[in-house]
Structure 1
């Protein structure tokens, strides 16, 4: 069983939201912060980790991500604010 993480990064509080999934959260957020790959998060400077969820199995994380991709923006904001009401960058807390 491979662990998985579902996460949301943004460029600023209540800014652009990007939902992703990974098996190594610390590494993946480091990649976002250092613009390692060109793409959506690089173009919109989504480097702030504002929400994450641990899954015991990567397939569970992928399934949940597919569900959340269809969510309304307001639902994602509510989810973030339940865990992180100040929209702090949580990267330091996962290291």
Structure 2
């Protein structure tokens, strides 16, 4: 996958904690989330599964979309995820990432 702006949602598991972000390199960002490379929210809550993403033509478009999603109600975000990914599977596996262990409860 070539570098291209993207907005994405990571989750700790089905109906778990959600993290919305943007990047110009989605593959690298997935690695960062999976390996807990940054201290903070996503590391603290184990938000490491890619459950939704959308590529954007420009970084400005990605920023605008990210800002929209961040103010959405949680139920809207869940509907967005489940429209394309009803089982909340880790979409990173489609690009050769190893499956993650089931989330701890």
Range of TM-score over shorter length = over 0.9
2:51 corresponds to which residue? 50
| CA offset digits 1:41-70 (Å, max 9, x no partner) | 000000000000010111100111011111
Q: Pairwise mapping of residues 51-90 of structure 1 onto structure 2 (< 5 A)?
A: 51-90=52-91
Unpaired runs of 5+ in structure 2?
97-105
1:7/1:39 Cα in 2 relative to 1: closer, same or farther (>3 Å)? Answer: same
CA RMSD of aligned residues (A): 1.2
More strand by share: 1
Q: 1:92 Cα shift?
A: 2.0
1:15 corresponds to which residue? 16
Provide the aligned length of Structure 1 versus Structure 2.
Answer: 94
2:39 corresponds to which residue? 38
Unpaired runs of 5+ in structure 1?
none
Per chain length, whose mean CA-contact separation is higher, i.e. which structure has more relative contact order (CA < 8 Å, sep 6+)? 1
Q: Pairwise mapping of residues 18-29 of structure 1 onto structure 2 (< 5 A)?
A: 18-29=19-30
TM-score under structure 2 length normalisation = 0.86
Runs of 4+, deviation exceeding 4 Å: none
Distance 1:45 1:4 in 2: 24
Distance 2:54 2:23 in 1: 11
